[in-house]
Structure 1
Amino acid sequence: MPHIRRLLSPLTQIATYTRWVHLILGGVVFMPYLIAVAVLASLILASGGGPGSGSPGAALVVGLAPALGLVAATAWLPGVRTMSAHLVRALVTGALAAEEVAEASTRRSRMRTGLWLVVHLSAGFAVCLATMLGLTQSAVLAATAVAPDPAGLMEGSLYPAGGEPPAPAERIAAPFAGAALLLAVIYTVAGAGALMARLAPVLLGPSAAERLAAAQQRVETLAERNRLARELHDSIGHALSAVTLQAGTAARVIDTDPAFTRSALEAIAEQARTATAELDHVLGLLRDERPSTAPQRDLAHLDQLVEATRAVGAEVTADVEGDPAAVPGVVSRETYRICQEGLTNVLRHAGPVPVALRLRVGAHELEVEITNPTAHPAPAGAGRNGNRGGGRGLRGMDERLRLLGGTLQAGAADGQWRLRAAVSWRDAQ
């Protein structure tokens, strides 16, 4: 039973008929090439005056090879490869479904595309001829059994008995012969379609170099997405944490300390403006625009970051050794984000507690250390109540430092949570 089902599957699968259409389209496209070259060949043959010089068949045979050469040259036209790939995806089921086909950019890819066009259009032309002859002869054979004048119906057909009327037995057997011929055409087309499905990834699919380039592009895209996610997490996360603490504190003392409430609301407005500018900057990066409203912050803005954290109520002690202006731009920007995320983690997980920030800048290296007291040492990513917070902040800081060749240490010891980051740019100069 499975063998019979497998044998009959080409008759019932929709792929057989969509691939049939794909091949016929190839034959239709091939006809202008062949006719144009055949007309030119017939004119050349006629001028020679040799035997058979006026035969259309001879012109077609002579013009077949030049027509296929023109078909192959079509692969050098822009868009031909991608158009062929779209047609294959639509009609040749199972071929190029998961392949990213780019426009031909190398001589080798154009040659593969040209070979595909030659195979597709020549096979399509053969299938067109087989379809016309096969369907016509099948219909003639099927009608022979009931036609009042079978001899006239058979005239000009491929019936092997010539012009003589068919015998009664032959008339009875003719519909079965017609059905067998129709099945032969369908199975032939199914085989040709399956062959095209196997050839399409080889000739139209990406080469090894194109696959490598696509993989590299995906890696770069993923890295850029991770970078933008870190920017949003660090900048917007810091602002939201500060706003949440300030709003909660202001709500508790709104009746007893109006002056503090006013100050907290002003700080919230400032944080919101800063967050909006940072968000506009990141959205500009997503749209591939030049940032115009929010230059990237670096260690030159560290004092503003410390003051904004103090406005929330945290007692921040900042100790800066060396000249932050001497730090290379990319290191300065990433170090600022690390300080921002470190202070944000203190506010989010410990609240407005005393914080010590120490920055030491050397000739070719810097070190940042942020410490705050903690009553209950908690693992990385744990919240104030010991709940897991996901650890995205520490993971983002670690990613930043690994890109710079730096190191990150974070953990609780002796009642203190300590975060330490070190970066050296000696080898980069």
Structure 2
Amino acid sequence: MRPLTPVIRPLIHAHTYRRWAYLVIGGALLMPFAMAALVLATLITQHGRPAGDPGPTAIALATLLCLALLTATALIPGVRNGQTHLARALLQGPLTNTPHTRTSRPTARSALWLCLHLLLGMAASLATMVALTEAAMLATAPLNPQPYSTPAQRLLGPLLALLLVAALLYTIALLGHLLTRTAPHLLGPTPTERLAAAHAHAHTLAERARLARELHDSLGHALSVVTLQAATAARLLDTDPDFARNALTHIADQARTATADLDHALGILREDTPTDRTPPPDLTHLHHLTQATRHTGTDLTCHITGDIHRVPALLSREAYRITQEALTNALRHAPHHTPTLTLHITPTDLTLNVTNPRPPRTRPRTRPGPGRGITGMQERAHLLGGTLTCRPTPTHWHLTLHLTWKDTR
């Protein structure tokens, strides 16, 4: 039975009947265009001809007028979208895997598709009317002996009717397959639309990566600080209640800061938000960042030279996030050790160095390669045209950021 499957598949597969409906719709849509074109061509060429005899000239002119009307219809805004949706629903096939652009402007290819659909639909409709009518007459031959002269012809009528219907179905399947293979080339996005869709997708991915960096750096730092302060407060609650009370106060401050950062990050997702309700922190907030780090019990050494306000706003925000993530890594991987932060600013560049001791590792690293934090910092630096290097030594971990800009003052 398996070798016969490709032969009988067009007869039993649902695609054949969906595409049959699609072709019949095309034939029905062609009728008003064809009738209007034929009437107009007859009026133009009717000179001395008897009524009801259009002649070959009128038929040729009607064909040209019909094609012109179809082309004009295909150029109406929205027609291409309608054709695409109808073809996706009934033809299916490769067109369903083709990206559907939001702005589908009319093109010459969509006009060609409308002409092809309607002309093939008319041919399929005529074949359907003729074949089904003849098949009905052949099927009823044993009950209606008058048109058939011999009993053998009357007995073969139902068999011939089945063969005629099968031939019609194979023809419909062939026409439907032809349209299915042609649809992606005529209804699919143009190269310009594909390029625009690729740019939009890249922009979406960039926004998602930006949001991931914002959440990772801001919330990751806040959670690391809160974890260390909570652990320290719990340990010193009985022996040093004043320190524990201050640690709880700083935990509340960090929670408020994290809430503000989360509000800023969620503002990126909301399309109806005209501006960020909470401005993101920049290098002018570096003092608060270093103070929060020291409140965890970490003896941070900080050296800042140069005017922070000379750094452009965008570079200042991104440099702050990189500094925040670098200190978060130091708190996470080397708690209660002494990291060193050095920031040197000139009128045209800045250099950030963060160094922290590497504690002896008690167990092997389970995840090879850099983590998300280092990757995010490198992405930030790359987008700004700067460089960020991470260089471990046997005793320390060194992170260096270098950014440059033009002095506009």
**TM-score normalised by the chain length of structure 2:** 0.91
Matched, 1:287 2:270: yes
1:191 equivalenced with 2:174 (yes/no)? yes
Alignment partner of 1:95 is 2:94: yes
Task: Identify which of 191, 196, 205 aligns with 2:188.
Answer: 205
The residue number in structure 2 matching 1:170 is 153
Query: 2:252: which partner in 1?
Result: 269
CA contact 1:277–1:293 (8 Å) conserved in 2? no
Structure 1 counterpart of 2:391: 411
Shift of 1:385: 5.8
Conserved? CA contact 1:405–1:423, under 8 Å: yes
Contact 1:79 1:103 in 2 (8 A): no
* Contact 1:369-1:421 within 8 A present in 2 as well: yes
2:350 counterpart (366, 374, 395): 366
1:341 offset after TM fit, Å?
0.3
Q: CA deviation at 1:134?
A: 0.7
In the alignment, the residues of structure 1 paired with residue 401 and residue 167 of structure 2 have an alpha-carbon distance, to the nearest angstrom, of: 75
Give the Cα separation in 2 of the matches to 1:93 and 1:15: 8
By how many angstroms is 1:283 displaced? 0.9
Give the corresponding residue for 1:136. 133
Q: Is the 8 A contact 1:81 1:103 kept in 2?
A: no
Q: Judge which range, 389-398 or 306-315, deviates more.
A: 389-398
Residue 30, structure 1, aligned to residue 10, structure 2? no
Check whether the contact 1:408–1:422 (CA below 8 A) recurs between aligned residues: yes
Deviation (angstroms), 1:40: 4.2
Equivalent AA in structure 2 for residue 91 of structure 1 = L
Identity, % of aligned positions: 46
Are the structure 2 counterparts of residues 57 and 170 from structure 1 closer, same or farther at C-alpha, using a change threshold of 3 Å?
Answer: farther
Distance in 1 separating the partners of 2:15 and 2:407: 60
CA spacing shift, 1:344–1:103, aligned 2, 3 Å = closer
Q: Structure 2 CA distance, aligned partners of 1:417 and 1:229?
A: 24
Deviates more, 1:324-333 or 1:418-427: 418-427
Is contact 2:347-2:407 (8 Å) kept? Answer: no
Aligned partner of 1:351 among 320, 335, 354? 335
Paired residue total: 405
Contact 1:317 1:356 (8 Å CA) reproduced:
yes
AA at the equivalent of 1:307: Q
> What RMSD in Å do the two structures reach over aligned CA positions?
2.5
CA drift of 1:375 comes to 2.7
Q: Which amino acid aligns with 1:225?
A: R
Q: Give the Cα separation in 2 of the matches to 1:414 and 1:64.
A: 85
User: 1:96 offset after TM fit, Å?
Assistant: 0.9
SS at match of 2:239: coil
Counterpart of 1:159 in structure 2 is: none
- CA drift of 1:301 comes to 1.0
Correspondence 1:80-119 to 2 at 5 A? 80-102=79-101, 110-119=107-116
2:242 aligned partner: 259
- When structure 1 is superposed on structure 2, of 280-289 and 2-11 the one drifting more is 2-11
Is 2:146 the partner of 1:146? no
Q: Deviations over 1:30-57 (max 9, x none)?
A: 2232233344445556xx3633433589
Residue 420 (structure 1) aligned with residue 403 (structure 2)? no
Aligned to 1:160: none
Aligned counterpart, 2:222 = 239
Q: Which amino acid aligns with 2:377?
A: M
Aligned to 1:50: 48
CA displacement, residues 293-321 of structure 1 (integer Å, 9 cap, x when unaligned): 31121111111111111122211121111
Q: 1:52 to 1:310 in 2, by over 3 A?
A: farther
Is 1:398 aligned to residue 378 of structure 2?
yes
My pick for the range that moved more, 122-131 or 6-15, is 6-15
C-alpha displacement of 1:284: 1.0
Distance 2:223 2:185 in 1: 53
Q: Distance in 2 between matches of 1:428 and 1:400?
A: 23
Structure 2: 5+ residue stretches without partners: none
Q: CA deviation at 1:291?
A: 3.6
Q: Distance in 1 between matches of 2:53 and 2:408?
A: 77
Deviations along 1:123-159, one digit per CA (max 9) or x if unpaired, are: 1111111111111110111101222xx33xx5xxxxx
The residue that corresponds to 2:291 in the other structure is 307
Matched, 1:339 2:354: no
Between the aligned partners of 2:260 and 2:50, the Cα distance in structure 1 is 83
Report the equivalent of 2:212: 229
Residue 246 of structure 1 and its aligned partner are, at CA, apart by: 1.2
**Aligned equivalents of 1:229 and 1:95: distance in 2?**
35
Task: Quote how far apart the aligned CAs of 1:27 are.
Answer: 1.4
For 1:61 and 1:95, the matched residues in 2 are separated by 35
**CA drift at 1:103:** 5.4
Taking the aligned partners of 1:234 and 1:133, their CA distance within structure 2 comes to 72
Q: Give the conservation status (yes or no) of the 8 Å contact 2:80–2:110.
A: yes
TM superposition score normalised by structure 1: 0.87
Q: 1:408 and 1:61 mapped to 2: Cα distance?
A: 73
